[in-house]
Amino acid sequence: MTQIRNFCIIAHIDHGKSTLADRMLEITGTMEKRNMHAQTLDTMDIEQERGITIKLTPVRMAWKGVELNLIDTPGHVDFQYEVSRSLASVEGAILVVDATQGIEAQTLSNVYLALENDLTIIPVLNKIDLPSADVERVSAEVISLLGCKREDIIPVSAKTGENVELVLDAVLEYVPEPKRLDADANLVEHDDPSATTDVTKALIFDSQYDTYKGVVVYTKLFSGQIRKGDKLEFLNTGARIEALEVGCFSPKYNPVGVINEGEIGYVVTGLKSLTDARVGDTLFGKISEQREFFKKDEVLVKSEKQSEAYESSTTNEHRNSEREIRLLDNSKTPIKGFKRITPYIFAGIYPVDTDEYPKLKDSIEKLTLNDSSLVTENEVSPALGHGFRCGFLWLLHLDIVKERLWRDFQMDVIMTSPQVTYRLLLPGDKVQEYGRMHPELVDYQGQTCTYISVSNPEDLPKPGTYKFMEEPIAKVEMITPSEFIGNCMQLAQERRGVFIGQTFLDTNRVILSYEIPMSELIGDFYDDLKSLSSGYASLSYEFLRYHEDDLQRLDILVAGERVDAFSMIVHSSRARYIGGRICAKLKEHIPKAQFAISIQAALGANIIAREDISAMRKDVTAKLYGGDITRKRKLLEKQKEGKKKMKQFGKVSIPSETFVNILKK
C-alpha cells in the first residue's frame, strides 16, 4: 500500500495536460519513444484533430520503485463531469497553469472540485520555454489562489521535458497513500484504525464496451483484492458477474494476476450492456472465507420454506451463520461521495431519410456503449418521424456525438433545438399521469402538488394547468482582461444575468461572477464572449438551482403549419427577439415555392414575428406583343387564382440542413 500513488492532471483547455502526460510516459519508460505520438493518451480521432481531451484516460507508471496511477482529464468546461469522476478516484492532483496565459475560468473550477474532494494539489507552470511566458506574474496568481509558497510551484516545459522529473518526485513526496474505507463505506486515511478489509469494494469511474471482451469497467479498489474468476456484484444495479480478466493500463489493457487495495485497474465483466455497469456504482465482493455465507444468503432469499426452517432452528451453527450473514449484508453499503450523471441539455435526433431509422437506432445503441454520459429515449415527431430524445452534458458533447454518428456509422442526422430541463408544479397528485417525466410529490402551501421535469416543448402542459414553471440557473464565472469588463457585463445583462461580484486576480485581469439562466448559455453565448473579448476571456459554469420565472412555449409556423422541431421554451422578455431571428433565418434557408410562404413565430395564439417568402413567378405576359392592357390583366388574374389554389393545397418542404443552420448565429 505504501508504494502506490494515485493522481490526476487538471487544467484549463490547451494548457498542456496531455503533453505533460506524454513526457511522464517517456521519462518513466512506460512507453518507448518510437511508439509515441503527440497526445498519446488521446486515443479518439476527434481528440487528435481538435487537440482536446474528451475522455479521461488512466495509465500505470513506475518511478523510483513506486507505482504511479495517473488519470489524464479533459480541460473543456463541457466535460467537467469527467473531471469529477477522476477526482473521486485519486488522492492528489497536478494543477497545470499555462505560464503565457495564467489562471483561467476552468482552472478555478477544477481547483474548487479538487478541494471538495480533499486532494493534495501540486501547482505546475507549463510552457516556460516560450518567449511570452510570464513566470513571475502567473506564480503570483497561483500563490493568491492556493495560498502556497513560491518554492512549491514547479516551472516546467512539457514540450522539452524540462523539470518533469521534479513533478514526479513531488508526487512521491506530497501525494498521500491511497485512502481506505471504514465499516460505513466512508473514505478514511490509509492508517485509520476504523478502516476495514473484510470485503472487496471498488469504485467504477468509467466503462467501455469492447467488441470481444464485452463491458470493461475501470475501477479504483478501496478495499480487498480482485482476481480473475472472482464473483462480484454491482450494488446499485444488482448485476452479478465473474471477473473474466483483471489488469492495469499501460496505457492499453495489460492483464495482471490481481488488483490490490489502492490500485487503479480494469475488470472484464462479460456484460453486453452498460446499463448493468453504471459509472459511479460500487463493485462488491467477498473474501474467500465469506463466500459460503453469501451462497447461504442467496438460498434464504429465494426459498421461503428454507428461510422459515432456518429461522426456527435453534442450533448454534445456524445462529452463528445468521450473525455472519447479517454482518455481510451490513457491509453492502455503496461507496459514498460520487456524483451521478446529469445531462444539462436535451435535443431530438432524427434521420434525414425516415427509412434509415433502424440504422440510426443501431448506431445510437452502439454509441451509448462507449459514452456513459449520453442519455437516450425514443421519440416521435409529426414533422421528422421516428427518432430519439438525447441528453447531453453540453453543446460540445452534442457536437461530438453528431460527428461520431457520421464518422463511425455514416449516419447523417437532423438535430432539433437543444433545450434545458424545466420544472413545472402541477396541482394534485399527477404521478400516474406524468410517470415518464420524473414526477415528485411535494407539499405546496398546504396542498399536495406534483413537480415534473420537461425538456421537450411538446410535453409542456397547456397554460393554466400548472401553477408555475422553473428554469435552471447556472453560476457563471468569466475571467477577462480589465479592458473588456464592460463588454462582458453587457453580454451577461443581455442574457438576463444577475451580477454577483467581481474579484481582481491582478491589476490586469478580473473574475466576473454572475447567475445566468442555463437556457441563455445555449447557442452563441461562448462565441459572443470570445468575440467581445478578442478571444481572451474564459468561461466556467455549474448548475446552481431552479428559479421561477415567466416562461412560455414559442412555436414556429411555416405556411400556417406548426413545425414542432423548431418549438422552444423561452422567457417572455426575449420571445420577440428570438422569434424574429428564427423567422429571418428560415427565410434565408427555405427555398421559394410556386406560392407565397408565410413564416410566423407565435406565443399561444399571438403572432409576435413574421417573414414572407414571395412566390416563384413565371412571366405569363412574355408571349404578348401588344394589344389592350386588359389582355395582360386577364393572364395575371388567372395566374393569381392558380397561386391561391396552390397555397391552399401545397406543402412546404424544409431542407434538412435548415434544421442545423437554425442553431447557428
Give the model confidence (pLDDT) of 130-141 as tens digits: 888 888 988 988
Question: Where does the pLDDT of residue 211 fall: very low under 50, low under 70, confident under 90, or very high at 90 and above?
Answer: confident
pTM assigned to the model:
0.74
* Distance, CA of 656 to CA of 299 (rounded, Å): 58
- Does 260 score more than 90 pLDDT? no
Residues 228-241, mean pLDDT to the nearest whole number = 86
- Convert the pLDDT of each residue in 149-208 to its tens digit: 888 999 999 888 888 899 999 999 999 888 877 777 677 776 767 666 678 888 888 888
Query: What backbone phi and psi angles, to 5 degrees, belong to 212?
Result: -100, -30
- Does 516 score more than 90 pLDDT? yes
Question: Where does the pLDDT of residue 311 fall: very low under 50, low under 70, confident under 90, or very high at 90 and above?
Answer: very low
Residues of the chain with CATH 3.30.70.870: 345-416
Question: Where does the pLDDT of residue 416 fall: very low under 50, low under 70, confident under 90, or very high at 90 and above?
Answer: confident
- Does 320 score more than 70 pLDDT? no
CATH of domain 469-549: 3.30.70.240
The predicted pLDDT at position 512 comes to: 92
- Convert the pLDDT of each residue in 529-567 to its tens digit: 888 988 888 888 888 899 999 998 999 898 888 888 788
In terms of pLDDT, which residue wins out, 366 or 183?
A: 366
Contact 590, 558 (CB under 8 A): yes
Question: Where does the pLDDT of residue 57 fall: very low under 50, low under 70, confident under 90, or very high at 90 and above?
Answer: confident
CB under 8 Å to 28, separation ≥6 — which residues?
61, 62, 63, 68, 168
Whether domain 345-416 has CATH 3.20.20.70: the reply is no
The predicted pLDDT at position 190 comes to: 67
Tell me which residue of 252, 251, 181 sits closest to 220, measured CA to CA. 181
The predicted pLDDT at position 296 comes to: 43
Question: Where does the pLDDT of residue 74 fall: very low under 50, low under 70, confident under 90, or very high at 90 and above?
Answer: confident
Tell me the three-class secondary structure of 274-315, residue by residue.
HHHCCCCCEEEEECHHHHHHHHHHHHHHHCHHHHHHHHHCCC
The predicted pLDDT at position 377 comes to: 85
- Does 492 score more than 90 pLDDT? yes
Could you give the angle at which helices 80-87 and 105-116 cross, rounded to 10 degrees? Answer: 30
Q: Which CATH class is domain 197-330?
A: mainly beta
Computed over every residue of the chain, the mean pLDDT equals: 80
The predicted pLDDT at position 323 comes to: 42
The predicted pLDDT at position 561 comes to: 83
CA distances to 216, 271, 372, 654 from 278, rounded to whole Å, are 11, 12, 8, 40
- Does 40 score more than 90 pLDDT? no
- Convert the pLDDT of each residue in 385-397 to its tens digit: 888 988 888 788 8
Strand 538-549 with 468-481, pairing: antiparallel
The predicted pLDDT at position 148 comes to: 86
- Does 326 score more than 60 pLDDT? no
The predicted pLDDT at position 15 comes to: 82
CATH of domain 552-661: 3.30.70.2570
Residues of the chain with CATH 3.30.70.2570: 552-661
- Does 473 score more than 80 pLDDT? yes
Tell me which residue of 382, 300, 304 sits closest to 348, measured CA to CA. 382
* Distance, CA of 318 to CA of 299 (rounded, Å): 14
Q: Which helix (H) or strand (E) holds 63?
A: strand 57-63
Alpha-carbon dihedral sign for residues 497, 501, 504, 507 = positive
Question: Where does the pLDDT of residue 485 fall: very low under 50, low under 70, confident under 90, or very high at 90 and above?
Answer: very high
CB under 8 Å to 136, separation ≥6 — which residues?
none
Residues of the chain with CATH 3.40.50.300: 4-177
* Distance, CA of 505 to CA of 145 (rounded, Å): 9
Three cell numbers at 9?
492532471
* Distance, CA of 392 to CA of 415 (rounded, Å): 12
The predicted pLDDT at position 301 comes to: 39
Question: Where does the pLDDT of residue 50 fall: very low under 50, low under 70, confident under 90, or very high at 90 and above?
Answer: low
Residues of the chain with CATH 3.30.70.240: 469-549
User: Which of the residue ranges 469-473, 535-539, 636-640 would you say has the lowest mean pLDDT?
Assistant: 636-640
In terms of pLDDT, which residue wins out, 332 or 646?
A: 332
Question: Where does the pLDDT of residue 287 fall: very low under 50, low under 70, confident under 90, or very high at 90 and above?
Answer: low
* Distance, CA of 182 to CA of 73 (rounded, Å): 28
* Fold of the 4-177 domain: Rossmann fold (3.40.50)
